[in-house]
C-alpha cells in the first residue's frame, strides 16, 4: 500500500510517533522557513502538508500539488493560505482554534500593561544607569483599573480579553461585524458600540480581528485622528490590520500616547523600520501564543488534522470543509 508522504515546514514542539504510524515524514530542520521554491517542489509529491503562518501557500503552490490530501496549519489564522483555491481542489485546510485563546489573551494583557506602565522603557532606563533617586514624576503612565477598554473583534480571543478586564473594573466597549447575543454581552460585561464610538471613547484599544480584505489597514490616519491623545493601541492579531506609516505618524506626533504590537507587516519587521526608533512603541516578535503548553497543544492539533486528512476523514478543525 502507498505510504503517505508528509512535509512539515519546521521542527514541532511535540512527538511525531502517531504521525509516523501513518506517514513517511520529512521535517524542514532549518530555523528559517523553507524558501517558496522548495515548498513548490515538495508539494508536487506529498500527500500532507503541515505548515506555519510564515509559509506562503498561494494559488500557484496549491495548483502545483498533484496528490495533496490535506493542508494543516499550526495557527488559528490562515491568511497565508489561498482557501478558495484549496477548496476548489477539494483540499481541506486545518487550523488550531481555541487552544491558543488564553495564551494570546494573556499576552494581550502583558502588552497592555507593559505599554501603560512603561515596563520596557523602565528596564532600559535602569540598565542605562539612569536610576538616581525616587522621583515623583518618573515614568508615569495612565491608570489601567477603571479605564475604558475598546475591543475590536469579539471572537474567542476578544472575549477572553474582556473576561480578564473584569478584574480591572474596566468599562469594556466592543465593535464587531455582528453584535453578540445579549446574554453573552451581559456575562462578559461589554457594550456594543460603533467603530468610531469605540475609537473616540477608549483609553485602550485592542485588536482581535482576522486579516481580510475588509480589515486590511482598518487602522489608518483617520482612525488615529479619532482616538484620544492619551490612548494606547494593542495589536496581537495581524500586522496588516494597521497602516504602519499612519501608526508611526500617530505615535511620533502624539496623536496617541503609545502602542504595543506583537505583529507587523511584513514579518519580521525590517531592521531599518522607523517604528523601531520610537520609545512609545513596544514590538514583540509574534509570540502571542508562545506558552510551552499552548504550542504543544497547537502542534498536536495540527497533527490530528493532518492525520484525519490523510485518512480521508473530516478534519477536527477545518477551515473550508470541501465536499
Ligand atoms: C497566530 O498568530 C495564529 O494565528 O495562530
Nearest CA to ligand 1 atom 4: 77
238 is catalytic: yes
- Give residue 2's pLDDT: 75
Q: Are residues 120 and 239 in the same domain?
A: yes
Q: Which domain holds residue 53?
A: 4-98+293-310
What sign has the CA pseudo-torsion 38, 41, 46, 50? positive
Is residue 2 classed exposed, middle or buried when 0-12, 13-18 and 19+ CB atoms within 10 A define those classes?
A: exposed
Average pLDDT, the chain: 97
- Whether residue 32 has pLDDT greater than 90: yes
The total number of structural domains in the chain stands at 2
The grid coordinates of residue 73 equal 496549519
- 282-322 pLDDT, tens digit each: 999 999 999 999 999 999 999 999 999 999 999 999 999 88
- Given 3-state DSSP classes, what are the helix, strand and coil percentages for the chain, each rounded to the nearest 5? 35, 15, 50
Return the SS3 of 61: helix
Q: Are residues 13 and 50 in the same domain?
A: yes
Q: Are residues 172 and 297 in the same domain?
A: no
Q: Is the CB of 76 under 6 A from ligand 1?
A: yes
Residue 87 is assigned to a structural domain of this protein: yes
Residue 265 φ then ψ, to 5°: -140, 105
Q: What is the CATH number of the domain that holds 24?
A: 3.40.50.720
Percent of the chain whose pLDDT exceeds 70: 99
Q: Are residues 123 and 92 in the same domain?
A: no
Q: Are residues 236 and 87 in the same domain?
A: no
Q: Are residues 151 and 274 in the same domain?
A: yes
- Whether residue 323 has pLDDT greater than 80: no
CA of 127 to the centre of ligand 1 (A): 33
CA of 277 to the centre of ligand 1 (A): 26
Q: What is the pTM of this model?
A: 0.96
Is residue 280 classed exposed, middle or buried when 0-12, 13-18 and 19+ CB atoms within 10 A define those classes?
A: middle
**pLDDT class of 1 with cuts at 50, 70, 90:** low
Residue 323 is assigned to a structural domain of this protein: no
Nearest CA to ligand 1 atom 3: 75
Contact 13, 292 (CB under 8 A): yes
Q: Are residues 157 and 222 in the same domain?
A: yes
- Whether residue 76 has pLDDT greater than 80: yes
- 174-188 pLDDT, tens digit each: 999 999 999 999 999
Amino acid at each position: 500500500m502507498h505510504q503517505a508522504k508528509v512535509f512539515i515546514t519546521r521542527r514541532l514542539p511535540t512527538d511525531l510517533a502517531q504521525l509516523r504510524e501513518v506517514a513517511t515524514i520529512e521535517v524542514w530542520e532549518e530555523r528559517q522557513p523553507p524558501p517558496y521554491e522548495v515548498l513548490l517542489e515538495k508539494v508536487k509529491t506529498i500527500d500532507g502538508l503541515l505548515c506555519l503562518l510564515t509559509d506562503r501557500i498561494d494559488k500557484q503552490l496549491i495548483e502545483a500539488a498533484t496528490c495533496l490530501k490535506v493542508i494543516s496549519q499550526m495557527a488559528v489564522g490562515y491568511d497565508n493560505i489561498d482557501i478558495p483555491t484549496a477548496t476548489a481542489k477539494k483540499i481541506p485546510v486545518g487550523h488550531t482554534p481555541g487552544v491558543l485563546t488564553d495564551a494570546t489573551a494573556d499576552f494581550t494583557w502583558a502588552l497592555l500593561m507593559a505599554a501603560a506602565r512603561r515596563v520596557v522603557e523602565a528596564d532600559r532606563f535602569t540598565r542605562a544607569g539612569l536610576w538616581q533617586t525616587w522621583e515623583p514624576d518618573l515614568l508615569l503612565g495612565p491608570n489601567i483599573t477603571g479605564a475604558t477598554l475598546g475591543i475590536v473583534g469579539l471572537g474567542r480571543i476578544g472575549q477572553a480579553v474582556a473576561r480578564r478586564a473584569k478584574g480591572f473594573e474596566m468599562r469594556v466597549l466592543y465593535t464587531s461585524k455582528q453584535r453578540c447575543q445579549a446574554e453573552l454581552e451581559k456575562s462578559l460585561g461589554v457594550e456594543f458600540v460603533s467603530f468610531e464610538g469605540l475609537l473616540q471613547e477608549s483609553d485602550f484599544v485592542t485588536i482581535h480581528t482576522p486579516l481580510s480584505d475588509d480589515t486590511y489597514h482598518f487602522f489608518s490616519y483617520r482612525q488615529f485622528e479619532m482616538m484620544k491623545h492619551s490612548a494606547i493601541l494593542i495589536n496581537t492579531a495581524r500586522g496588516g490590520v494597521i497602516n504602519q506609516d499612519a501608526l508611526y505618524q500617530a505615535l511620533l506626533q502624539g496623536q496617541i500616547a503609545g502602542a504595543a504590537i506583537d505583529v507587523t507587516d511584513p514579518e519580521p519587521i525590517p531592521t531599518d523600520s522607523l517604528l523601531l526608533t520610537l520609545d512609545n512603541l513596544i514590538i514583540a516578535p509574534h509570540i502571542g501564543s508562545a506558552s510551552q503548553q499552548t504550542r504543544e497543544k497547537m502542534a498536536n492539533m495540527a497533527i490530528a488534522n493532518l492525520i484525519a486528512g490523510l485518512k480521508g476523514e473530516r478534519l477536527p478543525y477545518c477551515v473550508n470543509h470541501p465536499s
